[in-house]
């Protein structure tokens, strides 16, 4: 007896897969990808219907001709019934105009918000977050790859014209899929980082401090983008955007105005792997003071570490540690720096110099 097995997929999974396939189709499928896509579409009528609907929203119906055997979409059918739709529309508007209590402006809202929602509808919207000590890699619908560091929150919103990411807190690295028609904007605090096809890291650990590291291409720093039309205007003038290229790092205050003379770019091309070692689960220190080392290590753990005394804070540390490996760090501090540990409770530790304790 032959089993009839029908695969069941969640609605969100289907939408994610459809978005990914549409992006691939738009940039051109390989032979193997075309076979895989046809197989994917043939498994479910719901998939085919949603795929065509998404293609309409993205205005890429022309690419469906490649899949006409699997996704029949006949534009002539719509034209054939055009006069019937016009008749129905005429009846609808006659009914509206003859309803005295109805405010017709509600059907034709001309304010900016309504206009934006019609012209540039949201195609994809989702919030991603990581817990303390967690790292997550997300494949976005346009084939961009987003990596979130510990204790981070980012809202992702794609429209037909733009790609927006709002970093609410934490740190992210994004490898941006190239698309000249749809720039990608990462906003954090009161600044935005604009790219087309590049790779960069944004850190937003303090409400007033932002850090940008570019690993590929160029990223433009601008005042926070608030509309799909681009850079926000302040005091009736557009503030000058600032470009940062691969191998450069910029640290800036969120609320400061973008003035070319005040933005300091640092070339970290030789140390960029160390600066972004969190992506591979490592923390690399090259002579940072212990107070800075503890602050960085603490991001990946719920254990509070207190330094007792001023002298201990100035000790310089070098080495490579696994993110979240507090015990490994404590062992190194004990063996090489004569630093002792006092556990207050399961979530709090005090560190002090052994010589200070003896005194």
Residues 238 and 337 in one domain: no
What integer pLDDT is reported at residue 54 of this predicted model? 72
Average pLDDT over residues 160-175: 94
Higher-confidence position of 92 and 223: 223
Per DSSP, the residues of 116-135 read: HHHHS-EEEEEEEE--TT--
Residues 149 and 264 in one domain: yes
List, for residues 307-320, the tens digit of each pLDDT value.
Answer: 999 999 999 998 88
Residues 332 and 260 in one domain: no
Q: How many domains does the chain have?
A: 4
What integer pLDDT is reported at residue 167 of this predicted model? 96
Give the span between the Cα atoms of 219 and 214, in whole angstroms: 7
Pairing outcome for strands 136-139 and 153-159: unpaired
**In which band, very low, low, confident or very high, does the pLDDT at 157 lie, cut at 50, 70 and 90?**
very high
Q: Which of 40, 27, 56, 16 is nearest to 141 (CA)?
A: 16
What integer pLDDT is reported at residue 304 of this predicted model? 95
Residues 289 and 201 in one domain: no
Whether residue 67 is contained in a domain is answered as: yes
Residue 50 pLDDT more than 90? no
Domain that holds residue 57: 11-73
- State the average pLDDT for the chain: 78
Whether residue 143 is contained in a domain is answered as: yes
Residue 102 pLDDT more than 70? no
Give the span between the Cα atoms of 281 and 268, in whole angstroms: 20
Average pLDDT over residues 45-58: 76
What integer pLDDT is reported at residue 116 of this predicted model? 41
Q: Residue 192 is part of a domain; what is its CATH number?
A: 2.60.120.1440
Which residues, in sequence order, are bridge partners of residue 127?
155
List, for residues 253-286, the tens digit of each pLDDT value.
Answer: 877 777 666 788 999 999 999 999 999 999 999 8
Residues 185 and 289 in one domain: no
Residues 156 and 264 in one domain: yes
The continuous run of DSSP H or E covering 60 comes out as none
Higher-confidence position of 224 and 294: 294
List Cα–Cα distances, 166 to 112, 178, 230, 303, 331, in angstroms. 21, 19, 15, 28, 39
Q: Residue 352 is part of a domain; what is its CATH number?
A: 3.55.50.30
Whether residue 2 is contained in a domain is answered as: no
List, for residues 61-80, the tens digit of each pLDDT value.
Answer: 555 655 665 565 544 444 44
Whether residue 318 is contained in a domain is answered as: yes
**In which band, very low, low, confident or very high, does the pLDDT at 181 lie, cut at 50, 70 and 90?**
confident
Residue 119 pLDDT more than 70? no
């Amino acid at each position: 007896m032959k089993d009839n097995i029908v695969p069941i997929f969640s609605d969100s999974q289907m939408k994610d897969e459809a978005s990914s396939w549409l992006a691939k189709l738009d940039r051109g499928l390989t032979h193997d990808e075309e076979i895989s896509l046809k197989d994917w579409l043939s498994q479910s009528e719901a998939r085919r219907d949603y795929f065509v609907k998404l293609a309409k929203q993205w205005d890429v119906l022309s690419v469906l001709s490649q899949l006409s055997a699997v996704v029949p979409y006949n534009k002539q059918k719509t034209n054939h019934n055009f006069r019937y739709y016009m008749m129905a529309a005429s009846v609808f508007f006659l009914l509206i105009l003859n309803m005295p209590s109805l405010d017709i402006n509600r059907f034709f809202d001309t304010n900016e918000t309504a206009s934006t929602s019609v012209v540039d509808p949201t195609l994809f919207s989702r919030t991603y977050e990581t817990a303390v000590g967690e790292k997550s890699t997300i494949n976005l619908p346009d084939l961009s790859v987003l990596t979130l560091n510990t204790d981070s929150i980012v809202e992702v919103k794609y429209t037909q014209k733009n790609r927006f990411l709002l970093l609410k807190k934490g740190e992210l690295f994004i490898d941006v899929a190239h698309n000249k028609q749809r720039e990608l904007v990462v906003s954090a605090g009161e600044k935005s980082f604009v790219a087309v096809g590049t790779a960069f890291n944004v850190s937003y650990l303090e409400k007033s401090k932002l850090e940008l590291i570019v690993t590929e291409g160029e990223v433009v720093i601008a005042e926070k983008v608030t509309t799909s039309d681009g850079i926000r205007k302040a005091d009736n003038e557009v503030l000058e955007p600032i470009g940062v290229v691969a191998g450069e790092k910029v640290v800036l205050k969120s609320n400061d105005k973008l003035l070319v003379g005040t933005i300091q770019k640092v070339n970290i091309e030789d140390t960029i792997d160390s600066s972004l070692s969190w992506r591979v689960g490592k923390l690399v220190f090259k002579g940072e003071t212990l107070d800075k080392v503890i602050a960085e290590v603490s991001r990946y753990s719920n254990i509070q570490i207190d330094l007792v005394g001023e002298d201990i804070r100035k000790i310089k540390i070098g080495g490579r540690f696994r993110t979240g490996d507090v015990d490994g760090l404590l062992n190194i501090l004990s063996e090489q720096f004569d630093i002792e540990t006092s556990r207050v409770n399961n979530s709090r530790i005090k560190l002090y110099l052994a010589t200070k304790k003896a005194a």
